[in-house]
Amino acid sequence: MCGIVGVVSNKDVSHKLYEGLKNLEYRGYDSVGMCFLHNKSFLQKKGVGKLAEVQKKVNFLRFKGNIGIAHCRWSTHGGVTEANAHPHSDCSNRISVVHNGIIENYSKLKDELVKKGHEFTSQTDTEVIAHLIEDNLKGYSIEKAIQLALKKLEGSYALGILHADSPSKLFAARNESPLILGVGNNENFIASDVPSILGYTNKVVYLDDKEIAVLMKGSFKVFDLDGRQLRKKINVINWSREAAEKGGFKHFMLKEIYEQPRAIADTLNGRAANNHVVFDKEFGLSENYLRKIKKILILACGTSWHAALVGEFMIEELARIPTEVQYASEFRYRHALLDKDTLVIAISQSGETADTIAALREAKKQGVKTLSICNVMGSSITRISDGVIYTRAGPEIGVASTKAFTTQLSVLYLLTILLSKLRKTLNEGQVKSMIECIRKIPMQLPAVLHEDDEILRCAELYHKRTNSLYLGRGVNFPIALEGALKLKEVSYIHAEGYPAAEMKHGPIALIDKNMPVVFIAPHDIYTYSKILGNIEEVKSRGGIVIAIATEGDKEIPKKADHTIFIPKTLYTLSSILAAIPLQLLAYHIADKLGRDVDRPRNLAKSVVVE
Ligand code: M6R
Task: Compute φ and ψ for 220, nearest 5 degrees.
Answer: -145, 155
pLDDT at 245: 67
Q: Is 329 in the pocket of ligand 1 (CB under 6 A)?
A: no
List active site positions. Answer: 2, 605
pLDDT at 266: 85
pLDDT at 493: 95
In this structure, the number of other CB atoms found within 10 A of the CB of residue 296 comes to 23
Q: What is the dihedral of CA 110, 609, 213, 97, to 10 degrees?
A: -40
pLDDT at 335: 82
| Atom 12 (ligand 1) nearest CA | 302
Choice from 193, 253, 299, 301 to test ligand 1 binding pocket (greatest atom count within 8 A of CB): 301
Tell how far the Cα of 63 is from the centroid of ligand 1, in angstroms. Answer: 36
Residues 6+ apart with CB under 8 A from 86: 2, 31, 33, 46, 71, 73, 97, 98, 99, 124, 126
CA distance 350 to 330: 19
pLDDT at 293: 96
CA distance 397 to 252: 6
pLDDT at 524: 87
Q: Is 136 in the pocket of ligand 1 (CB under 6 A)?
A: no
Can you give the C-alpha Rg of the chain in angstroms? 25
Model confidence, pTM: 0.75
pLDDT at 42: 96
Residue 104's Cα: distance from chain center in Å? 23
pLDDT at 158: 95
Q: Please state the atom number of ligand 1 nearest to the C-alpha of residue 353.
A: 4
Tell how far the Cα of 253 is from the centroid of ligand 1, in angstroms. Answer: 14
Indicate if the alpha-carbon torsion angle 501, 504, 507, 510 is positive or negative. positive
Tell how far the Cα of 305 is from the centroid of ligand 1, in angstroms. Answer: 8
What is the overall mean pLDDT for the chain? 93
Q: Is 382 in the pocket of ligand 1 (CB under 6 A)?
A: no
Choice from 177, 256, 304 to test ligand 1 binding pocket (greatest atom count within 8 A of CB): 304
Q: Is 408 in the pocket of ligand 1 (CB under 6 A)?
A: no
Q: Measuring CA to CA, which residue among 210, 241, 205 is closest to residue 220?
A: 205
CA distance 610 to 608: 7
Q: Measuring CA to CA, which residue among 77, 137, 151, 148 is closest to residue 107?
A: 77
Q: Is 515 in the pocket of ligand 1 (CB under 6 A)?
A: no
pLDDT at 463: 94
pLDDT at 427: 93
Q: Please state the atom number of ligand 1 nearest to the C-alpha of residue 603.
A: 14
Which residue ranges form the domains of the chain, and what is each CATH number? 3-243 (3.60.20.10), 252-444 (3.40.50.10490), 450-596 (3.40.50.10490)
pLDDT tens digits, 393-440: 888 889 999 999 999 999 999 999 999 999 999 999 999 999 999 999
What average pLDDT values come out for the chain (610 residues) when binned by 10 residues?
91 96 81 95 94 95 96 79 95 96 90 97 95 94 97 94 97 92 97 89 94 97 97 86 69 94 89 88 93 97 98 97 96 87 96 94 95 88 94 88 97 98 94 96 95 95 95 96 98 95 85 93 89 93 95 95 96 97 98 94 75
pLDDT tens digits, 203-221: 999 999 999 999 999 999 9
Q: Is 355 in the pocket of ligand 1 (CB under 6 A)?
A: no
Q: What does DSSP say about strands 203-206 and 235-236: parallel, antiparallel, or unpaired?
A: antiparallel
Q: Is 156 in the pocket of ligand 1 (CB under 6 A)?
A: no
pLDDT at 51: 94
